[in-house]
Chain A
Amino acid sequence: MTIDVARIPDAPNRRLGDTPIVQHPYIPLTDDDRKAMLATVGVRATADLFADIPAEHFRPEIDLPDALTELELLDHTRTLAARNRTAADNACFLGAGAYRHFRPSLIDPLVMRGEFLTSYTPYQPEVAQGTLQTIFEFQSLVCELTGMDVANAGMYDGASALAEACLMACAVTGRKRIAISDRVHPNSIATVRAYAHGRDIPVEVQPHGEFSLSDEYACLAVQQPDFLGRMAVAASEWGDAAHHAGALFVVAADPVSLGLFRAPAQYGADIVVGEGQSLGVPLSFGGPYVGLFACREKYTRQMPGRIVGETTDTNGRRGYVLTLQTREQHIRRERATSNICTSQQLIALSTAMYLATLGPTGLRRVGELCFDKAHELAARIEHLPGFSVEDDEPWFHEFVVRTPKPPVEINAALLERGIIGGLDVSDIRNRMLLCVTEMNTADELDRMVEALAEVSR
């Protein structure tokens, strides 16, 4: 295969080998070092160390763009970044699972400290107390937010956390059928399907609010707020229905909404998962994020993922360790609760810093600001000719607008005015899912209303 350099735009065409660059900044061994080391090893050339590789396959042609210096690399990537239209210089009303929230300035310099950024999984607790304590604190914060008893150190993202929760429900109940609401994010449903297919477990997507369960079902999974932004008042009835059928009630919740709304534990959740991204994590085109995962205490041993616990050292001093590791793949192998062996630690850390910084007042305010601004925009759009807001259920910071034209056309026109519009959720009608957070300024709301009025004319 040949990589056409032109398709990787703006890479200067210069090979590392063209000019005798002896040293690369990432590889410190000098020629003298190599000579001395080869002598100690007792071989003549480095190639001899690769003698086990079949000669006919050794050192093949590698067709890659040429090496870039740091200066060139920054230039190249800046050019690529400029090809994105982003929330950095456009008003953004897009949510649908990833949300732009305020990120307090102290997070970046702290989370990017090399001692956090470049450390490994804390298997050696004596030299990883920093990471371990932050995980213990993260678990505690997730418990406070969700109202659950125990939480793990983090999952890949919200969607995969939901998938793992459904599989865990199957392990707990010994049943092989998953019921999931059709108002769960479609990408989350797709993720649950992919995971469940591995174990040949059927996934049934049921109409929201009209759930039908029997003793075959391992769980009922719902999302709060749901994919269309709505908060269900009837959630506790669903929890009762799940429990009545002997199934677990799994709730995927947006953690920012939990600053304002009742915790899923209050309406019967057995497992709560969530997309941690909304806790001030940059959008970054979809990742890395972190999945939140919490459950009732009695299910602790069936929980996937890493868990940190408190203990003491030989001198009686308090410390933290990875614990209950026998659930995990490196010990239980094919009988593990999951194969996961990351906790998205750096992102989890950043969300813990976010919660520690905002505190209860700050998080509640973020929720109130989102709620207010979104409802203000909805009320103003409702007055625009041709538009109407679907307002039959309470909602948080996302809402569905019926539009007079296809959302694709509206969004294209909005983008010309420096606005990233909402997600196209058209069924037989033209519908658009809009999101407003505390990041949307009063001026942006004005511009949005004005632009919608214009484009619908």
Chain B
Amino acid sequence: MNDNRLEPTLHELSRPGRVAVTMPAPSRRANIPPELLRDELRLPEISQLDVVRHYTRLSQLNYSIDTQMYPLGSCTMKLNPKVNDAITAMPGFADAHPMQTADQSQGSLAVMHGLQRILAEITGMDDASLAPLAGAQGELAGVLVIKAYLESIGEKRTTIVVPDSAHGTNPATAAMAGFNVVAVQPQPDGDMDLEHLREALEEHGPTVAALMITQPSTLGLFDRNIVQVAKVVHGHGALMYGDGANLNAITGQVKPGDLGFDVMHINLHKTFSQPHGGGGPGAGPIVVKEHLVPFLPSPHVVLDAGGSTLEAGSNRGSSNLHPPASSFALVDPPFSIGRLGAFHGNFAVLLRAYAYISSLGGEGLRAMSEAAVLNANYIRARLRDAYYLAHEERTCMHEALFSAKKQKAQAGVKALDIAKRLIDYGYHPPTMYFPLVVDEALLIEPTESESKETVDAFCDAMLAIAREVETDPELVRTAPHTAPLGRLDEATAARKPKLRW
């Protein structure tokens, strides 16, 4: 192997004639029209052991929750219980075909219906759709629901107001749904600036469709003006869209529906423990108040009172059947925004969330958010002397927002450097440079899954790095030193993209 490779690619491992698995020979010669056949197929040819070693070795180059603390702010990297994987692997779920009829799929539909009701209950909403395949798609669904609702009452509104501390998906989503984006800024204390909001609403007046807001905010704070904000927004005939990215902080403590939100998406891969998988799959169910229910995406799971007509273009084949009383069915809501994907949502992800919530129950969910918030505040208290704290005067929710501005002024050490140095201590870096409104941001989210000892050890590492900045800043600026690779040349990667072998 060349020195400069951590692991050869599949292509480099390939030798003509090798196989990792054999398939049975066809019983007769395929009589395929020759003009349709392909002449070459350059897939790798690798022995079974080499395939196994390749992926095992690659896995060992990753940091993961299963191997170390992953304090990524805004990402809620919590325990992923193995029992949930065992459940999704049950043949009764794993081998269920999405085009099977509802009467053959009652187990899966019971899970989905149960989860719809659970999510609505947790968030204080009236109903839920499990169709969105990811958080960002949930946002798109939510905004399209708003658009459809407003059109239904004869309103043409074209603007969505988004705080500039928001996740990038919010403005991107608003644009995908055909809306203009107007940004508003928070007050210095992190809460929504009611005056600025009123001005924005007055300026854009009757064109504002909704305010998209994350609660708790991306600053890790619960917005104390939220009830007022909702009143102002509703007063202008606009709707309240909640980004549920930070739901882990408030589950069981407050219901967003009670605060005035009309629609909200939930990241099941955050609060409800779907493993992140290195970047998906997740799921982004949306929950809505009653007036938005008719516009939910297709399909929607309902409890069929027995023999009633099933409108289900989505699962054609079941539409002519009359399932027995008290069974579940898939339907298209009457004014649905339509489909977001081929089938019924990321079922196995939904199943894991259902299992996770079932393991905790209502009291357990409350204990979950409590522990997550306590862990974050503990980190906040332990690190506040060493690092600049963005909102010193307030306790935080599930994540603590620091800035490396002290270290930058002191020794030219940036948030990035501190993050990379944490790798040497065996921790995944926290979220950096987000939210954009805080310079040199370091956003730390421990979740409820970490024990006090782990959180303490992490804080010790952060404090040690703060001392290193004073004594040996170069050590921090050139980190990491123990990772499989040093810092990578991202500029060349983007200037001369090499995107395949």
B113 at the interface (CB under 8 A from A): yes
Please determine whether A63 and B121 come into contact, CB atoms closer than 8 angstroms.
yes
B278 at the interface (CB under 8 A from A): yes
Please determine whether A366 and B485 come into contact, CB atoms closer than 8 angstroms.
no
Which residues does chain A contribute within 8 Å of B89, judged by CB atoms? 108
Known contacts A74-B83, A113-B56, A333-B168; is-contact A29 B451 (Cβ 8 Å) = yes
Which residues does chain A contribute within 8 Å of B450, judged by CB atoms? 28
Partner of A58, one of B66, B254, B278, B486: B254
Which residues does chain A contribute within 8 Å of B370, judged by CB atoms? 46
Which stretch in B201-209, B403-411, B489-497 binds the other chain? B489-497
Known contacts A140-B500, A306-B279; is-contact A73 B44 (Cβ 8 Å) = no
Interface size class of A (residues with CB under 8 A): 35 or more
B185 at the interface (CB under 8 A from A): no
B171 at the interface (CB under 8 A from A): yes
B48 at the interface (CB under 8 A from A): yes
Please determine whether A371 and B30 come into contact, CB atoms closer than 8 angstroms.
yes
CA distance A129 to B80 in the complex (A): 22
Which residues does chain A contribute within 8 Å of B137, judged by CB atoms? 156, 160, 339-340
CA distance A124 to B430 in the complex (A): 10
Known contacts A7-B303, A134-B58; is-contact A311 B489 (Cβ 8 Å) = yes
CB nearest neighbor in A for B52: A106
Partner of B38, one of A62, A261, A339, A423: A261
CA distance A341 to B282 in the complex (A): 10
Please determine whether B64 and A80 come into contact, CB atoms closer than 8 angstroms.
no
Known contacts A117-B66, A118-B275; is-contact A80 B111 (Cβ 8 Å) = yes
Partner of B134, one of A96, A331, A341, A369: A341
Which residues does chain B contribute within 8 Å of A356, judged by CB atoms? 10, 20, 43-44, 46, 51, 54
Which stretch in B231-239, B374-382, B463-471 binds the other chain? B374-382
Q: How many residues of B contact A (CB 8 A)?
A: 214
Please determine whether B373 and A50 come into contact, CB atoms closer than 8 angstroms.
yes
Please determine whether A119 and B63 come into contact, CB atoms closer than 8 angstroms.
yes
Please determine whether B92 and A88 come into contact, CB atoms closer than 8 angstroms.
yes
CA distance A74 to B89 in the complex (A): 12
CA distance A261 to B283 in the complex (A): 34
Which residues does chain B contribute within 8 Å of A334, judged by CB atoms? 171-172, 174-175, 181
CA distance A104 to B52 in the complex (A): 12
What distance in Å separates the Cβ of B334 from its nearest Cβ neighbour in chain A?
15
Known contacts A137-B10, A363-B43, A365-B23; is-contact A300 B499 (Cβ 8 Å) = yes
A418 at the interface (CB under 8 A from B): no
A239 at the interface (CB under 8 A from B): no
Please determine whether B169 and A341 come into contact, CB atoms closer than 8 angstroms.
yes
A275 at the interface (CB under 8 A from B): yes
A417 at the interface (CB under 8 A from B): no
Which residues does chain A contribute within 8 Å of B313, judged by CB atoms? 186, 190
Known contacts A194-B337, A260-B37, A282-B95; is-contact A375 B31 (Cβ 8 Å) = yes
Which residues does chain A contribute within 8 Å of B484, judged by CB atoms? 126-127, 129
Which residues does chain B contribute within 8 Å of A16, judged by CB atoms? 360-364
What distance in Å separates the Cβ of A273 from its nearest Cβ neighbour in chain B?
12
Please determine whether A287 and B348 come into contact, CB atoms closer than 8 angstroms.
yes
Which residues does chain B contribute within 8 Å of A233, judged by CB atoms? 33, 35-36
CA distance A198 to B349 in the complex (A): 26
Partner of A187, one of B167, B342, B500: B342
B108 at the interface (CB under 8 A from A): yes
Q: 1/0 contact trace for A346-377 toward B, CB 8 Å?
A: 11010011011111111111101101100110
CA distance A48 to B480 in the complex (A): 39
Please determine whether B365 and A64 come into contact, CB atoms closer than 8 angstroms.
yes
Which residues does chain B contribute within 8 Å of A136, judged by CB atoms? 9, 499-501
A457 at the interface (CB under 8 A from B): no
Kindly count the residue-residue contacts between A and B in the assembled complex, taking CB atoms under 8 Å apart: 737
Partner of A284, one of B6, B32, B259, B348: B348
Overall SS of chain B's interface? loop
CB nearest neighbor in A for B20: A357
A44 at the interface (CB under 8 A from B): no
A115 at the interface (CB under 8 A from B): yes
Q: 1/0 contact trace for B336-366 toward A, CB 8 Å?
A: 0111111111111101000101111111111
What distance in Å separates the Cβ of A375 from its nearest Cβ neighbour in chain B?
7
A139 at the interface (CB under 8 A from B): yes
Known contacts A24-B364, A86-B91; is-contact A144 B41 (Cβ 8 Å) = yes
What distance in Å separates the Cβ of A128 from its nearest Cβ neighbour in chain B?
6
CA distance A282 to B90 in the complex (A): 11
CB nearest neighbor in B for A359: B45
Q: Within A29-67, which residues are at the interface with B (CB < 8 Å)? A: 29, 33-34, 36-38, 40-43, 46, 48-54, 57-60, 62-67
Please determine whether A74 and B487 come into contact, CB atoms closer than 8 angstroms.
no
Known contacts A114-B66, A118-B66; is-contact A157 B342 (Cβ 8 Å) = yes
Please determine whether B136 and A415 come into contact, CB atoms closer than 8 angstroms.
no
CA distance A347 to B23 in the complex (A): 22
A308 at the interface (CB under 8 A from B): yes
Interface centre among A315, A324, A333, A360 (most CB of B within 10 A): A333
What distance in Å separates the Cβ of B332 from its nearest Cβ neighbour in chain A?
9
Please determine whether B121 and A62 come into contact, CB atoms closer than 8 angstroms.
yes
Q: 1/0 contact trace for B264-280 toward A, CB 8 Å?
A: 00000000000111111
Which residues does chain A contribute within 8 Å of B298, judged by CB atoms? 190
Please determine whether B338 and A190 come into contact, CB atoms closer than 8 angstroms.
yes
What distance in Å separates the Cβ of B327 from its nearest Cβ neighbour in chain A?
10
Q: Within B377-410, which residues are at the interface with A (CB < 8 Å)? A: 377-378, 380-382, 394-395, 397
Closest 5 CB pairs of A and B: A81-B92, A286-B343, A114-B66, A346-B277, A67-B361
Pairs across A and B, CB under 8 Å, 5 listed: A52-B395, A97-B99, A131-B62, A319-B6, A359-B19
Q: A187-B343, A198-B177, A341-B134 are in contact. List 10 more A-B contacts (CB 8 A).
A: A43-B377, A49-B395, A84-B105, A119-B278, A120-B75, A120-B279, A133-B61, A145-B41, A346-B275, A356-B54
